[in-house]
Amino acid sequence: MLDLAVFASGNGTNLQAIIDAIKSGILNAEIKLVISNNPDAYALKRAEIQKIPTKIVSKEMFENREDFVNALIGILKAHSVSFIALAGYIKKIPHEIVGIYKNRIVNIHPALLPSFGGKGMYGMRVHQAVIEAGCKVTGVTVHIVDDEYDHGPIVAQECVPVLHNDTPEALAERVHKVEHRIYPRVLQLFSLGLIRIDGRKVTILEERVNNRT
Ligand code: GRF
């Protein structure tokens, strides 16, 4: 069972996919709270509808970085969070928190990392760049969060074809569909203890999944 915090800055369709997966029994987790840097994030509304606690926390609300980091750590502890899922969170996770939650923070990225990632590569910019580069495939990556943007060990990837005359919006929609399917599934693998991380190498102990299902 994962005691989750979901960090989201925007619409929160991935948050919704996680909520739905928990409700339908696909994912054995509880969302302890949703944290956003953006008071206008629709993700917060989605959480409120489900009566999931929310917190708006951004660096600008604090006098200095230390206070910000301590506040975040305090909130995570107060809600007994054991695992963090970033779902469209555009800020960097402070390295103190990366340390405390080592290998227990994941992110979902709308491309096949290590391509089309890094600072500033989020949302429609990613899909625009993929199309401009003439790629025939893009995809979804779920990875462990470390101290660099979109850099930690890769847990899961799935390809999505780039179609002739694709617009960033059309491509984003198809990528999102894949995200909503694979993110809850990857979280469930963590919940079952089926992910082994050794340096940059991540092994999914699939056989044990098969034995249990
Ligand atoms: C997703 O495409 C995700 O890969 C990226 O940000 C987007 C968030 O979408 N990190 P949503 O807010 O979950 O709808």
Mean pLDDT of 59-79: 97
Residues 156, 186 contacting (CB under 8 angstroms): yes
Q: Which atom of ligand 1 is nearest to the CA of 10?
A: 12
Indicate the pLDDT class of residue 213, thresholds 50, 70 and 90.
Answer: very low
List 109, 127, 143, 180, catalytic entry? 109
Residues 186, 106 contacting (CB under 8 angstroms): yes
Residue 208: what pLDDT? 54
| Cα within 13 Å of Cα(171), Cβ side | 29
For 168-206, the three-class secondary structure string (H helix, E strand, C coil) is HHHHHHHHHHHHHHHHHHHHHHHHCCCEEEECCEEEECH
The finding on whether 16 has its CB within 6 A of some atom of ligand 1 is no
Closest alpha carbon to 99 in 149, 146, 155, 32: 146
What is the best residue among 6, 176, 178 to mutate for testing ligand 1's pocket, by most ligand atoms within 8 Å of CB?
Answer: 176
* Structure letter (DSSP) for residue 147: S
The finding on whether 109 has its CB within 6 A of some atom of ligand 1 is yes
pLDDT digits (tens, 9 = 90+) for 152-204: 999 999 999 999 999 999 999 999 999 999 999 999 999 999 999 999 999 99
- If you take atom 12 of ligand 1, which residue's CA is the nearest one? 12
pLDDT digits (tens, 9 = 90+) for 14-38: 999 999 999 999 999 999 999 999 9
Catalytic status, residue 143:
no
pLDDT digits (tens, 9 = 90+) for 140-162: 999 999 999 999 999 999 999 99
For 66-130, the three-class secondary structure string (H helix, E strand, C coil) is HHHHHHHHHHHHHCCCCEEEECCCCCCCCHHHHHHCCCCEEEEECCCCCCCCCCCCCCHHHHHHH
Residues 17, 184 contacting (CB under 8 angstroms): yes
What is the best residue among 7, 13, 14 to mutate for testing ligand 1's pocket, by most ligand atoms within 8 Å of CB?
Answer: 14
Q: Compute, in angstroms, the gap from residue 211 CA to the centroid of ligand 1.
A: 32
Rounded-to-10 torsion of CA 142, 146, 148, 150: 0
Assign 143 to helix, strand or coil.
Answer: strand
**Stated length of the chain:** 213
Q: Which two tokens stand for residue 69?
A: 């980091």
